[in-house]
Amino acid sequence: MSDLTSAGSAVGGAPVGGDGPTTEPSAGGKERSTSLWADARRQLLRDPIFVIAFLYIVVVGSMAAFPKLWTSQDPRACSTDRSRVSPSWEHPFGTDILGCDYYSHAIYGARPSMVIAVMATSGIVIFGGLLGLLAGYYGGWVDTIISRLMDIVLSLPFLLGAIVFLTVIKRQNIWTIALVLFALAWPTIARIIRGSVISSKDLDYVHAAKAVGARNSRLMFRHILPNAIAPMLVYATIVLGAFVAAEATLTFLGVGLQAPAQSWGTMISVHQVYFLEDPWLLLFPCGLLVGTVLSFILMGDALRDALDPKFR
């Protein structure tokens, strides 16, 4: 396991799907291949923090994808005569101010957060990754233009920029929020890719491939990009958590999803005034939210340790 050949050359470097925390290695598992990914998988499965965080994300992901799996109650079936009833066997999270079942609301509330985070993250991975690749590979004026563009977007503080865009757009739904998060966050990933492309485009095997007559696109996607996948994957995992938090923050500030929509952010912002009388109304959504963000960050940390041979 220790005879890792090269830091970046992911053996069998088929591009790993960039839109989620997939840790599936591309190399077959039968023969003891010591590719970066197989090694990383072995290390990750032995890391209890990663496994717990991963299981938590699987749970939240299944809430988002199949809410029916977790609850049979309808979060829209409300009756005001049971407003703010504390948790009981029938309503494990109690009921909210309008007398709706809070547990099913929390389950259904996972979907918007996760959908926004996944859409925005896939967007920045594809778009930011492509621009970073172009800027790093071609250099020169292409790099200048793309870098200035990145500077411009990065100079807007994230939260302020999101507030401005959502205020002027005026239609706040899952799509626009994902779009705004995407528009403000792509430069960071483009920078990461650009840096790692620049550092690997002068490696000997790239020159060799060029000498053999490989086209630009083959050089970029087959020989250079696999080097950048590890840092991209780490960042994408962390940014998923950041986007979940950002959605809730924007909703809380009143520029995100609006009340009839169900999300953890609306749960928190609607019930924040009842914190002292009925703290569970806030503790459940806050707990789910913090758990999700924490899991993504811990997974990102574990991935970084596993994918960076320097830490071994």
The 34-73 site mask, x for binding another protein (CB under 8 A), equals ----------------------------------------
CB closer to another protein, 14 vs 294: 294
Crossing angle of the two packed helices 129-138 and 225-253, in degrees rounded to 10:
140
CB closer to another protein, 34 vs 305: 305
Stretch that binds another protein, among 16-24, 82-90, 120-128, 241-249 (CB under 8 A): 241-249
Stretch that binds another protein, among 31-39, 167-175, 198-206, 229-237 (CB under 8 A): 167-175
**Residue 78, C-beta contacts closer than 8 angstroms, at least 6 positions apart:** 98, 99, 100
CB of 296 to another protein, least distance (A): 8
Binds another protein by CB under 8 A, chosen from 10, 40, 233, 282: 282
Q: Residue 167 interacts with another protein (CB under 8 A)?
A: yes
How buried is 103 (Cβ within 10 angstroms: 0-12 exposed, 13-18 middle, 19+ buried)?
Answer: buried
CB of 155 to another protein, least distance (A): 5
CB closer to another protein, 36 vs 180: 180
Ramachandran assignment for 193, one of left (phi > 0), alpha (psi -120 to 50 degrees), beta (any other): alpha
**Residue 299, C-beta contacts closer than 8 angstroms, at least 6 positions apart:** 21, 50, 53, 54, 57, 237
**Residue 71, C-beta contacts closer than 8 angstroms, at least 6 positions apart:** 101, 103, 104, 107, 108
Dihedral over alpha carbons 238, 239, 245, 251 (to 10 degrees): -170
Binds another protein by CB under 8 A, chosen from 46, 68, 148, 312: 148
d(CA 312, CA 70): 40
CB of 201 to another protein, least distance (A): 22
The 257-276 site mask, x for binding another protein (CB under 8 A), equals -----------x---x--xx
Rounded alpha-carbon distances, angstroms, from residue 269 to 102, 247, 254, 288: 14, 12, 8, 15
CB closer to another protein, 168 vs 211: 168
- Site for another protein, rule CB under 8 A: 148-149, 151-153, 155-161, 163-170, 241, 245, 248-249, 252-255, 268, 272, 275-276, 282, 286, 289-290, 293-294, 297-298, 301
